[in-house]
Amino acid sequence: MHKRLFTPGPTEVRADILKELATPQIHHRSPEFADLYAQIQPKLQKLLYTQNPVFLYTSSSTGAMESAVTNLVAKRCLNLVNGAFSKRWHEITEGNGVPCDALSIDWDQAIKPEMVDEQLKTGKYDAVTLVLNETSTGLMNPVERIAEVVNSYPDVFLLVDAVSGMAGVKIDTDAWKLDFVLAGVQKAFALPAGLAVAAVSERALARAAQVLPRSYYFNLNHIYKYHKKNQTPSTPAIPHMFALNAQLSEMLSEGIENRFARHAKMAEIVQAWAQKNFDIYPEQGYWSKTLTCIKNTRGIDVPNLIDRLAEEYNVRISNGYGALKNETFRIAHMGDTQMDEIEGLLRAIDTILGL
């Protein structure tokens, strides 16, 4: 029996979108492919409020994170770290031999614009990595205000991992002047894993042309060259692209503002429930709109709750991430999940826990 996913990635994929993966195969150097690629482009630009090209990577999000730091750091990168994925971005930067430093703060605290300003004042950095929505802790960093600070330093680029936020919350790419904003599609896009997308600014492409190449598969100049022909440098995950194209059309017919409002409403319901019965892990004011990380203040047996939800209700939620494994549990309210499904999940938990 299928277990319906309420996990913060991968998320549940609707059956009619899964069927798109079975579209007969086309050749990636054919006009049919270029047409598919060209159809996807304006829809992604609309979703991201941008005129920038949006590249498609046949990789998970980690590949796009690697692409950002290997192409766009000429001098030194500042990695802002307040959770597992921002920590990973620091490891990716370091692991590729890119000069960098981490600014690490407690995982239940948001990155504040002043902290970033203090670091950039040193003049050491020409790029900053930021995770919009820390999936490990259910915390949303104030990206717009951080962008304002970064933009006051003309040579510093802002690179944003928006993996579990994109397609669930508004990302005003051009207004906030984001140089690189990426996501994998298995989170709020509600698609199977295997593709990542990234909007890349003009000045980022100009810098990528100057920086000595550190990566072949993730080389931005190479990707851009093919992008202009509505192609990818190597054979992409074409079935996923059919699914992405169909899902983007669904999002636009729902209305992207409506989609964001639905996410905000689901977050409100889950967070009110969490506050009534438990507590919420990150500091107030920075709770995520796409998932909630619930603090296990009742000392419940988290693995047991997860097992019973799977066995008795055919639904799956997540435990805490890493060190927070049994201290928290996480409910995703992102993608195509509807209000009644979230209500049903909460009632199932109430029943199991006798709340």
Pick one of 71, 141, 164, 232: the residue that binds ligand PLP (CB under 6 A).
164
- The reply on whether position 79 binds ligand PLP by CB under 6 A is no
Shortest Å, Cβ 88 to ligand PLP:
7
CB closer to ligand PLP out of 9 and 53: 9
CB neighbours of 255 closer than 8 A, spacing ≥ 6?
none
Count of residues binding ligand PLP (CB under 6 A)? 13
CB closer to ligand PLP out of 164 and 201: 164
**8 A C-beta contact, residue 62 and residue 34:** no
Calpha distance 154→267 (Å, rounded): 36
- The reply on whether position 163 binds ligand PLP by CB under 6 A is yes
- The reply on whether position 329 binds ligand PLP by CB under 6 A is no
Calpha distance 155→146 (Å, rounded): 15
Calpha distance 64→41 (Å, rounded): 17
Calpha distance 301→145 (Å, rounded): 39
CB closer to ligand PLP out of 62 and 71: 62
CB closer to ligand PLP out of 11 and 50: 11
To 10 degrees, the CA torsion angle through 288, 179, 95, 142? -20
Contact mark string toward ligand PLP, 142..161, x via CB under 6 A: -------------------x
Pick one of 5, 6, 7, 9: the residue that binds ligand PLP (CB under 6 A).
9
For tokens 């510093």, what's the residue? 156
Could you tell me how many residues make up the chain?
355
Q: Which two tokens stand for residue 71?
A: 């192409």
Q: Phi and psi at residue 295, in whole multiples of 5°?
A: -80, 130
111, amino acid identity: I
**8 A C-beta contact, residue 58 and residue 232:** yes
Shortest Å, Cβ 171 to ligand PLP:
13
| DSSP codes of every residue in 310-328 | HHHH-EE-EE--GGGTTTE
Shortest Å, Cβ 349 to ligand PLP:
23
230, amino acid identity: N
Three-state DSSP class for residue 262: helix
For tokens 């498609």, what's the residue? 56
Shortest Å, Cβ 199 to ligand PLP:
16
Pick one of 7, 52, 61, 70: the residue that binds ligand PLP (CB under 6 A).
61
Pick one of 37, 57, 85, 278: the residue that binds ligand PLP (CB under 6 A).
85
For residue 225, what is the enclosing H or E element?
helix 220-227
Stretch that binds ligand PLP, among 28-36, 60-68, 199-207, 275-283 (CB under 6 A): 60-68
Helices 302-313 and 339-353: crossing angle in degrees, nearest 10, is: 120
Q: Which two tokens stand for residue 29?
A: 């150097």
- The reply on whether position 320 binds ligand PLP by CB under 6 A is no
Calpha distance 76→72 (Å, rounded): 10
Pick one of 45, 60, 109, 119: the residue that binds ligand PLP (CB under 6 A).
60
- The reply on whether position 58 binds ligand PLP by CB under 6 A is no
CB closer to ligand PLP out of 173 and 348: 173
Shortest Å, Cβ 208 to ligand PLP:
21
Shortest Å, Cβ 43 to ligand PLP:
21
- The reply on whether position 184 binds ligand PLP by CB under 6 A is yes
Calpha distance 70→55 (Å, rounded): 16
CB closer to ligand PLP out of 184 and 236: 184
Stretch that binds ligand PLP, among 39-47, 58-66, 121-129, 340-348 (CB under 6 A): 58-66
CB closer to ligand PLP out of 189 and 278: 189
Contact positions vs ligand PLP (CB under 6 A): 9, 60-62, 85, 131, 133, 135, 161, 163-164, 184, 187
